[in-house]
Amino acid sequence: MRHSMRVFLCAAGALALSACAPSADDEVDRALRDINVIDETNLNEVMLQSSDPDEAVAYFQRAAADDPQRIDLMRGLARSLVRAGRATEAVAAWERVTAHPDATDADRVSLADALIRNNDWSRAGEVLETVPPTFETYDRYRLEAMVADSEKDWDKADSFYQTAVGLTTRPGPVLNNWGYSKLTRGDAAAAERLFADAVRQQPGLFTAKNNLVLARGAQGNYAMPVLPVTQEERAQLLYTLGLAAVKRGDVAIGRGLLQEAVETHPQHFDEAVRSLRALETGAG
């Protein structure tokens, strides 16, 4: 009898353990879920970084519709809309992100960025004011500088630009923005130095190269600076310099620079040709 009871208890214990222990199917399901989460995260990053912007928008729209409370998908949609140049929609998307209970100060900075892209400078400034001063990032100060520029608060703009430069290892774009700010204020010499710094930091930044020759032209200096450029880029820089000369009234010099731009370009340079014809006919 005691032997039968012992067998019964052992059997009962085995059944209890088997009931408590996860089944093989449960383990497989859990593993697959983990893999799916990893795969989805990787796919999200791929869509954000290398996909066609409109394809990324469509992907995140579908994903966010299936799981509307996931803030990572909401952010993905907002970022994709910015990449696609759909600024109005991007503002609405970032507003939904910032209304989420898990929203961060970085999300509010991204909303300010979208507002600036949508030319809503006053609201961008208001959003940035809600970000605590302890949140010190390159993007935050870059946007603060741009808002200060829009308000013509030059001292504040310079301070923010300086801070932003110190918070990134790739300061070329913000140096270019700072230089353009100086150029609009009429300080072409300071602008030239900042554009030169931008090119030195990021030699592939053509916008800074173009702004550099623009700043030189505004000072009556029509010599091409020594820059790492392709043949096509050199032609375009000569074209910019020629237009700057014409704008200053140095028409003969401008005509020569435009002609050189046409001869330098590896293909037909339609814009420069049209400008030359306009000068020759007295229309420009």
Sorted by where each starts, the structural domains of the chain and their CATH numbers stand as 44-121 (1.25.40.10), 136-221 (1.25.40.10), 233-284 (no CATH)
**What does DSSP assign to residue 265?**
S
Q: What are phi and psi of 218, to 5 degrees?
A: -65, -20
| Token pair recorded at residue 130 | 């809600």
Q: Which tens digits make up the pLDDT trace of 82-96?
A: 999 999 999 999 999
- Whole-number Å distance between alpha carbons of 158 and 141: 11
Q: What's the Rg (C-alpha) of the chain?
A: 30
How far is 77 from 61, CA to CA, in rounded Å?
Answer: 6
| Angle CA 132–133–134, to nearest 5 | 90
- Reply yes or no on whether the pLDDT at 70 is more than 60: yes
Residue 11 confidence class, pLDDT cut points 50, 70, 90: very low
Q: What is the pTM of this model?
A: 0.80
Distance CA 284, CA 282 (A): 6
pLDDT single digits (tens) 159-172: 999 999 999 999 99
Among 20-34, 88-102, 175-189, 192-206, the least confident range: 20-34
Which residues, at least 6 apart from 97, have a Cβ–Cβ distance to it below 8 Å? 71, 74, 75, 78, 103, 107, 110, 111
Q: Would you place residue 280 in the very low, low, confident or very high pLDDT band (cuts 50, 70, 90)?
A: confident
Let me know the angle formed at the C-alpha of 43 by 38 and 48, rounded to the nearest 5 degrees: 130
Condensed to tens digits (0 to 9), the pLDDT of residues 260-270 reads 999 999 999 99
- Rounded percentage of the chain residues whose pLDDT exceeds 70: 84
User: Is residue 215 a contact partner of residue 191, using CB atoms and an 8 Å limit?
Assistant: yes
